[in-house]
Amino acid sequence: MGALKSALLTVSKEQPSSHCCFCSMQCGLEILPSEKTEGLTIKPSGIFPVATGRLCQKGLNALEHVLHKERILEPLHRAVARAGQWQPISWEEAYSGIADKIKSLQEQYGRDAIGVYGGGSLTNEVSYLLGKFTRVALRSKYIDYNGRYCMSSAAAASNQAFGIDRGMTMPLSEIPHAKYIILAGTNIAECQPTMMPYLLEAKKNGAVIVTIDPRNTMTSKVADIHVRLQPGFDSVFINGLLHVMISEKLVDERFIQSRTSGFEGVKEAVQSFTPDRVEHMTGILEAVIRTIARGYAKAETGIVLTARGLEQQVNGVENTLNYINLALVTGKIGRKGCGYGAVTGQANGQGGREHGQKADQLPGYRLIEDPAAREHVAKVWGIDPVELPGKGVSAYELLQKIDEGEIKALIVLGSNPLVSSPNNRMVERALQKLDLLVVADMFETETARHAHYILPSSSFTEAEGTMTNLEGRVFHRRQAMELPGKCKLDFHIISELADALGRGHYFQYAGIEAVFRELAAATAGGKADYSGITYERLQDEKGIFWPCPSADHPGTPQLFQDRFYHGDGKAKLFGIQPKMPAEPIDAEYPFVLTTGRLGNHYLSGAQTRRTEALFKKAPVPVAEIHPSLAKRIGLSVEKKIRITSRRGSLIFQVKVTDGIQPRTVFVPFHWGDEHSINVLTNDALDPTSRMPEFKICAVKIERVE
Ligand SMILES: Nc1nc2c(c(=O)[nH]1)N[C@H]1C(S)=C(S)[C@@H](COP(=O)(O)OP(=O)(O)OC[C@H]3O[C@@H](n4cnc5c(=O)[nH]c(N)nc54)[C@H](O)[C@@H]3O)O[C@H]1N2
Ligand SMILES: Nc1nc2c(c(=O)[nH]1)N[C@H]1C(S)=C(S)[C@@H](COP(=O)(O)OP(=O)(O)OC[C@H]3O[C@@H](n4cnc5c(=O)[nH]c(N)nc54)[C@H](O)[C@@H]3O)O[C@H]1N2
Ligand code: SF4
Ligand SMILES: [Mo]
């Protein structure tokens, strides 16, 4: 650990001292005095009901980055980006310097010359304030956030199919009651490790588990059947399953009749996807297709979980819709032991996409182009609805607008887009064109190296607020430690910057609880309705599942018991005609590059590369390839390979494993600079969700002597 000393606040018995900052499980943890050098340690909490008494290695080591010696402790300024030394300045100087520059850029180029880029690790309150800040203080339409790279395809699919998007339609406690579980493009054992006990309990209760992934993963180890699918073939495979279910009359006719619409379209779409044809297209045996279709359809209960594997594709929304079809045609939703879940990724990935950080969105999952939504939110904010800007563009398109010269200044809060965006050489070029880049972070990240100002923000241990976990459970995270140095809460940074811009009167709050009260009012009557939730009710560590529309409403753990959220109360089925990825393999680029995660690292690595215990285990990215591919390129010993896509070429260490689909190479994305796989990835976007195709691009691979 670093040299930083942070003061621990008093411990309460009712709530854990904090919750882990990393994944959407949001495990509760205790920060305790210890004999160790820095005087503090982390233990799992016995109080939070989601992962009681458990933390994975990331959670156990989560204090290390908080106390790291590279933590930024005062505002820093550099007149010319990337040149000269950082100058420590006061907060007043930072605010007035930033505000003056913003004002002059807006005078010259218009209000939309300023963009804001948020993140899914921020609390609900900060996500909400960031959206309000952009629309009310900057009066710009350009805000989006890293969640666009994350759940947006599943969000769009859930909205289309169910009329609402809450990630999981049921609490995790339903998993042990499921008799058949399909896990597609989701590596839970490494990405939500403390969810594994729920799956293992289901297995103990007799559940069959199927995994669908191009790789054998830690998760597929617990599966009864593993489908090793080439990236991009999910919809073909699912059409095969649906074909069997329909032709063998295994679907739930009554459920389809009374609770869904659109079944004819599905029937038509899957008609030609006979199991033998699907075997021919995917290499997955007909017998396996039939076994899974029959097993899931006939099981009394069942759950389908999907994640980024099939979402981060240009066909991500359609892929997700097809997995949702499985749950709907078999009536496995809205009742005990049943449900569909898109597994949320980031700490507050769920809440982060409900309260207005998204380009087209206002708080409560309201749409910014809906006149009634504008009126409601404008009233809560005390402005005229005509003052509200319209909808902006998605995260990657926002970065493109910088490259094109339309956006001149960017404020980044809670993301490291230079590492995490596809085709990131474009992003680097764009950042270099900015007249003003402000990054609020704990560290000088790869993105912050291009900044004019770095504003030292809080860590999870220092910021109180509410979060919404992957189940849609809203809970309260306490402040566990004092802020170090001159660091500030994001809440204060946003409100004080609004003040410097002359819009401070819209951001007067007695404290963070007051922000939550306003957020709750802004969501009233919206889809993600938090209006019945208060800090007082959240003293109960179990939290409350939204929708919770009134003070006496108990919250909604299991969705869709009686109705879906479309006007007619029915869910919509969509027949899917599988489409090609944006960049299919060809003779010149004959392999598929797919990217993803390791258990030891988190996202852009800004935090976990600064955590020795984790970094030691994975200091550099290692590419995984199949022995047949190794042979083809003449790789006898595990040396290095060069991977080249149409956007660039990088060298990686290599691991040869027969656990990977033979045409596929996998590289994790947690590193920057010459180790950043996003130099190579394709920036093609799903037409609806605008989510990039991180999971598929065509590459060639050569041995490096
Ligand atoms: N350790 C760790 N945990 C994390 C994170 C982290 O960075 N590190 N990040 C968090 C975040 S923000 C997120 S979004 C989640 C992500 O959680 P996941 O989505 O589970 O993680 P990924 O590794 O991106 O992708 C999952 C799997 O999809 C597979 N895959 C690739 N292409 C395809 C395909 O075409 N079809 C199918 N079916 N599968 C495919 C990959 O081989 C991979 O095993 O994890 C969260 N948890
Ligand atoms: N190739 C490839 N690329 C991907 C993906 C993939 O599977 N493959 N996955 C995508 C996905 S799903 C995601 S979610 C993105 C995420 O990508 P990023 O947004 O880049 O993720 P992080 O590394 O979490 O960045 C968060 C930053 O915010 C800082 N931070 C943390 N907490 C706080 C806080 O409370 N306040 C402030 N102000 N700052 C804070 C951290 O120090 C860090 O620098 O990456 C995407 N990129
Ligand atoms: S499972 Fe997720 S929330 Fe729990 S300790 Fe690990 S990273 Fe943190
Ligand atoms: Mo994510």
pLDDT tens for each residue of 195-250: 999 999 999 999 999 999 999 999 999 999 999 999 999 999 999 999 999 999 99
The pLDDT of residue 76 is above 90: yes
Atom of ligand 3 nearest to the CA of 25: 3
Mean pLDDT on 345-351: 97
Q: Is 499 helix (H, G, I), strand (E, B) or coil?
A: helix
- How far does the centroid of ligand 2 lie from the alpha carbon of residue 118, in Å? 10
Mean pLDDT on 544-560: 97
CA 130 – CA 355 distance, rounded (Å): 9
User: Rounded to two decimals, what is the model's pTM?
Assistant: 0.97
In one-letter notation, the amino acid at residue 684 is A
Cross-strand partners of 117: 144, 412
- Residue 6's pLDDT band (cuts 50, 70, 90): low
Any atom of ligand 3 within 6 Å of the Cβ of 59: yes
Q: What share of the chain is helix, strand, coil (3-state, %, to 5)?
A: 35, 20, 45
Both tokens of 178, joined, read: 């499921």
The pLDDT of residue 3 is above 80: no
Both tokens of 501, joined, read: 């811009």
Domains and their CATH numbers in the chain? 2-66 (2.20.25), 76-149+369-510 (3.40.50.740), 152-342 (3.40.228.10), 591-704 (2.40.40.20)
For residue 346, the ligand closest to its alpha carbon is: 1
Any atom of ligand 1 within 6 Å of the Cβ of 311: no
- How far does the centroid of ligand 4 lie from the alpha carbon of residue 149, in Å? 7
The pLDDT of residue 284 is above 80: yes
For residue 26, the ligand closest to its alpha carbon is: 3
Q: Which residue has the tokens 């981060």?
A: 312
Average model confidence (pLDDT) across the chain: 96
The pLDDT of residue 625 is above 60: yes
- How far does the centroid of ligand 3 lie from the alpha carbon of residue 193, in Å? 7
CA 503 – CA 506 distance, rounded (Å): 6
Atom of ligand 3 nearest to the CA of 26: 3
The pLDDT value recorded for residue 701 is 97
Range in 36-40, 101-105, 608-612, 617-621 the model is least confident about: 36-40
User: Among residues of the chain, what percentage have pLDDT more than 90?
Assistant: 95
CA 67 – CA 81 distance, rounded (Å): 27
The pLDDT of residue 2 is above 50: no
Mean pLDDT on 422-436: 98
CA-nearest residue for atom 2, ligand 3, is 23
- Residue 15's pLDDT band (cuts 50, 70, 90): confident
User: Among residues of the chain, what percentage have pLDDT more than 70?
Assistant: 98
Any atom of ligand 3 within 6 Å of the Cβ of 696: no
Mean pLDDT on 491-510: 98
pLDDT tens for each residue of 559-609: 999 999 999 999 999 999 999 999 999 999 999 999 999 999 999 999 999
Any atom of ligand 1 within 6 Å of the Cβ of 605: no
Cis peptide leading into 554, omega within 30 of 0? no
pLDDT tens for each residue of 148-178: 999 999 999 999 999 999 999 999 999 999 9
CA 609 – CA 68 distance, rounded (Å): 11
Q: Beta strand pairing status for 544-545 and 571-572?
A: unpaired
SS (H, E, C) 370-430: CHHHHHHHHHHHCCCHHHCCCCCCCHHHHHHHHHCCCCCEEEEECCCHHHHCCCHHHHHHH
Atom of ligand 2 nearest to the CA of 146: 19
Mutate to test the pocket of ligand 1, among 148, 187, 348, 614 (most ligand atoms within 8 A of CB): 187
- Residue 9's pLDDT band (cuts 50, 70, 90): confident
The pLDDT of residue 73 is above 80: yes
The pLDDT value recorded for residue 84 is 87
pLDDT tens for each residue of 502-530: 999 999 999 999 999 999 999 999 999 99
The pLDDT of residue 1 is above 50: no
Angle between helices 512-523 and 371-381 (to 10 degrees): 150
Mutate to test the pocket of ligand 2, among 151, 312, 313, 603 (most ligand atoms within 8 A of CB): 603
CA 185 – CA 600 distance, rounded (Å): 19
- Residue 698's pLDDT band (cuts 50, 70, 90): very high
- How far does the centroid of ligand 3 lie from the alpha carbon of residue 26, in Å? 6
Question: Exposed e or buried b for every residue in 189-208, given b needs 16+ CB within 10 A?
Answer: bbbbbbbbbbbeebbeeebb
Q: Beta strand pairing status for 225-227 and 260-261?
A: unpaired
The dihedral of CA 463, 467, 469, 474: what is its sign?
positive
pLDDT tens for each residue of 361-406: 999 999 999 999 999 999 999 999 999 999 999 999 999 999 999 9
Both tokens of 310, joined, read: 């099939």
Query: What residues flank ligand 2, with Cβ below 6 Å?
Result: 119-122, 146, 149-150, 308, 312, 345-346, 413-417, 419-420, 440-443, 445, 457-458, 463, 490, 595-596, 603-604, 606-607, 669, 677-678, 681, 694
Cβ pair 349, 120 in contact under 8 A? yes
The pLDDT of residue 684 is above 80: yes
CA-nearest residue for atom 44, ligand 1, is 187
CA-nearest residue for atom 31, ligand 2, is 414
